[in-house]
Every structure is written in structure tokens, then in C-alpha cells.
């Protein structure tokens, strides 16, 4: 296959998408499948609706119940997707959890939950697909970070509270998302010689379960609306495709222009 950038075409590719049962992860699964990829949908919650939507549209997908913080489950995920769908060329680390409390209220349990889901999960999934990607001399890894990882938390207001800070994503989330950006660059520097490219997207506020009940004051953004899961999915699709063959170690803000750097 030519390594010069080309059009978006994922026929013959297999992708693992974590947190693919709903929200942004589900939209990523559907976008990658639309362009021809077979999808391993990994989530701790039931993901059969995502698989059914892909199959209805003529695509191929399997759902694998996976907790991304558990090494043995992640290894089993990669083994099963590789065996049933034929290899793994694309990994999208999307699974995430958030807490919206301040530093004093951030317990060690909350800290560990978010850091483990976001950072440890990204590390474990990347480690698990890496030998396959090296052997096939091809890999595209896209990590779903957040503008929180760049600016230290996105401010919102709980709709039932006058306190603006009550809706701000917390310190564990910001730290974990920032860690994912550094990890992305580390993998990009290591993986280039194997034709493994690693990039990240940094969504701004997006309508999903994660943001339900919070007001992000999106009226002040240049593109003055909440993002939709599909907005993020199209950016991930680009970075996962051969259209992005000369891009690695980058973080793309997908946020309606909220953060410009
Ligand atoms: N919604 C936003 O405004 C926004 C903004 C920036 C970044 N993000 C990021 O986008 C990603 C998707 O978020 P979303 O908005 O779709 O939220 P969501 O809560 O709807 O989706 C998160 C998914 O991750 C899964 N998940 C959680 N812990 C897991 C684990 N241990 N193992 C496997 N799966 C697990 C959940 O079950 C869920 O399906 C997250 O990483 C989130 O941090 C979201």
C-alpha cells in the first residue's frame, strides 16, 4: 500500500473503538463502518445497539464486553477482534468518565476512576494492539482527549444550580486528558518507524450522557452550538484514514473554535 496520503477509504480495515456503546464512541463506530471498516465495539455497558446499527447499514461489527482498565480483558478484546474480524489496523481510545467536583472533594477513589479509565485504559489498549501493528507495519491510533486536557477543565453550570464551578470538569479528568496528549506524542515518536501513527482529538462541549444537565454557554463560541457526536466522529475518521498519512503526534481541537492555540 502506498504511504502517500490518499482519499478516505477504510475497506479491509478493522478498528477497535472503546466506549462504543453510546455517545461519541457510537458515532465513531458508525462513521468508520460507513467508510468500510469492520468494527470491534468495546464497552463495559451493553453495546448491541451500536452493532445492530452497523449491521443494518450493511457493515460488519462485533461487540466485546470490556473494562479498559483491566489488562486481561483488553488482551482478550484484541485477541477476539483479531481472530473474528482479521487483524486490527485502527484503535480509537474513546472510553472515559468524568467527575465535576473541586480538588478538596476529589477523593482518591474518584481520582483513580477517571485516571484509570482515561489514561490506564488508553495505555493498556495501545500496548495490546502494538505488536500486531508492528508486525503488519500499519497502525492508526486516535485518542479522544478533551479541551480540558489543554486548558485545565471546561467550565459549565449545572442547570439546577447557580454555581458555575459545580459544572466544571474536575482535576482528575483534566490531568488524565492532558496525560493522554503526552502519551499520544510518545507513541507517535516511537511508532513512526513502524508506520504506526498516533493522534488525538480534543472535543469541546458535545451533547451526550456526559454533558446532560449542564449548560456550557456555547453562545460565546465562534460556532455557537453544542457539538454533536458526529462532529467528533468525522475528525476521528480523518485521522484514522490514509488522508492523514503524514500527520502524527498532533492534537486537533474539535470545539467550534472555543480554544485557539
Ligand atoms: N461529551 C463531551 O462534551 C466531551 C468533551 C470532551 C471529551 N469527551 C470525551 O469523549 C469520550 C466519549 O464521551 P461521551 O461524551 O460519548 O460520554 P458517554 O458517557 O456517553 O460515553 C462514554 C462511554 O465510555 C464507556 N466507558 C466508561 N468507562 C469504561 C471502561 N472502564 N471500559 C470501557 N468502557 C467504558 C461508557 O460505558 C460509555 O459508553 C470520553 O473520553 C470523554 O471524556 C467528551
Q: Which residue has the cell 511508532?
A: 191
Report domain extents, the chain. 14-153+170-205+228-254
Residue 164 has pLDDT above 70, yes or no: no
Neighbour count for residue 42 (Cβ, 10 Å): 33
Q: 123: closest CA among 64, 170, 190, 37?
A: 190
Whether ligand 1 lies within 6 angstroms of the CB of 211 is answered as yes
Whether ligand 1 lies within 6 angstroms of the CB of 44 is answered as yes
Nearest-atom number in ligand 1 for the CA of 95 is 24
- Indicate yes or no: pTM above 0.95: yes
Q: How far is the CA of 18 from the centre of ligand 1 (A)?
A: 9
Q: What is the radius of gyration, based on Cα positions, of the chain?
A: 17
| Cβ contact 255:232 at 8 Å | no
pLDDT band of residue 2 (cuts 50, 70, 90) is low
| Cβ contact 93:126 at 8 Å | yes
Instruction: Please state the rounded mean pLDDT for residues 219-223.
Output: 94
Catalytic residue flag (residue 123): no
Residue 236: in which H helix or E strand, if any?
Answer: helix 229-240
| Cβ contact 100:159 at 8 Å | no
Q: Which of 12-16, 119-123, 156-160, 202-206 has the lowest mean pLDDT?
A: 156-160
Locate the DSSP E strands across the chain.
Answer: 14-18, 38-43, 61-65, 90-93, 139-144, 157-158, 196-203, 214-215, 251-254
- For residue 122, report the phi and psi dihedrals to the nearest 5 degrees: -65, -45
pLDDT band of residue 162 (cuts 50, 70, 90) is low
User: Is pLDDT larger for residue 23 or for residue 100?
Assistant: 23
Whether ligand 1 lies within 6 angstroms of the CB of 69 is answered as yes
Residue 3: per-residue pLDDT? 82
| Cβ contact 150:202 at 8 Å | yes
How would you classify the pairing of strands 157-158 and 214-215?
antiparallel
Instruction: Please state the rounded mean pLDDT for residues 238-251.
Output: 98
Beta-carbon-side half-sphere exposure of residue 158 (alpha carbons within 13 Å): 11
Among 123, 130, 138, 173, the one annotated catalytic = 173
Q: Which residue has the cell 454557554?
A: 217
pLDDT tens digits along 15-53: 999 999 999 999 999 999 999 999 999 999 999 999 999
Share of the chain above pLDDT 90, in %: 89
Whether ligand 1 lies within 6 angstroms of the CB of 68 is answered as yes
Burial classification of residue 106, based on how many CB atoms lie within 10 Å of its CB (0-12 exposed, 13-18 middle, 19 or more buried) = middle
| Cβ contact 33:218 at 8 Å | no
**Alpha carbon 202 to chain centroid distance?**
9
Share of the chain above pLDDT 70, in %: 96
pLDDT tens digits along 138-158: 999 999 999 999 999 877 777
Q: How far is the CA of 143 from the centre of ligand 1 (A)?
A: 12
Bridge partners (DSSP) listed for residue 227? 206
Q: In a 3-state reduction of DSSP, which class is residue 170?
A: coil
Neighbour count for residue 152 (Cβ, 10 Å): 14
Instruction: Please state the rounded mean pLDDT for residues 249-254.
Output: 98
- For residue 201, report the phi and psi dihedrals to the nearest 5 degrees: -115, 145
Mean pLDDT, the chain, integer: 95
Q: How far is the CA of 145 from the centre of ligand 1 (A)?
A: 10
The CATH code of domain 14-153+170-205+228-254 reads 3.40.50.720
Bridge partners (DSSP) listed for residue 202? 253
Q: Which residues contact 182 (CB under 8 A, 6 or more apart)?
A: none
Amino acid at each position: 500500500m502506498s504511504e502517500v496520503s490518499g482519499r478516505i477509504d477504510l475497506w479491509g480495515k478493522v478498528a477497535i473503538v472503546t466506549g462504543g456503546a453510546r455517545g461519541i464512541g457510537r458515532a465513531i463506530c458508525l462513521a468508520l463502518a460507513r467508510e468500510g471498516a469492520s468494527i470491534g465495539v468495546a464497552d463495559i455497558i451493553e453495546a448491541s445497539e451500536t452493532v445492530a446499527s452497523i449491521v443494518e447499514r450493511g457493515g460488519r461489527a462485533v461487540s466485546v464486553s470490556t473494562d479498559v482498565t483491566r489488562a486481561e480483558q483488553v488482551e482478550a478484546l484484541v485477541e477476539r477482534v483479531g481472530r473474528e474480524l482479521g487483524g486490527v489496523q485502527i484503535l480509537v481510545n474513546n472510553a472515559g468518565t468524568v467527575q465535576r467536583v473541586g480538588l478538596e472533594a476529589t477523593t482518591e477513589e474518584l481520582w483513580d476512576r477517571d485516571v484509570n479509565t482515561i489514561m490506564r485504559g488508553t495505555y493498556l489498549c495501545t500496548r495490546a494492539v502494538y505488536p500486531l501493528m508492528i508486525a503488519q507495519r500499519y497502525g492508526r491510533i486516535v485518542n479522544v482527549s478533551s479541551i480540558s486536557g489543554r486548558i485545565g477543565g471546561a467550565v459549565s453550570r449545572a442547570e439546577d444550580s447557580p454555581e458555575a464551578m459545580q459544572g466544571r470538569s474536575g482535576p482528575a479528568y483534566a490531568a488524565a486528558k492532558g496525560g493522554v496528549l503526552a502519551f499520544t506524542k510518545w507513541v507517535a515518536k516511537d511508532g513512526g518507524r513502524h508506520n504506526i501513527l498516533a493522534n488525538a482529538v480534543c472535543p469541546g462541549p458535545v451533547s451526550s450522557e456526559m454533558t446532560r444537565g449542564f449548560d456550557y454557554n456555547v453562545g460565546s463560541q465562534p460556532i455557537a452550538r453544542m457539538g454533536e457526536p458526529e462532529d467528533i466522529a468525522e475528525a476521528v475518521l480523518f485521522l484514522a484514514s490514509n488522508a492523514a498519512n503524514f500527520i502524527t503526534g498532533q492534537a486537533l481541537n474539535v470545539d467550534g473554535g472555543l480554544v485557539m492555540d
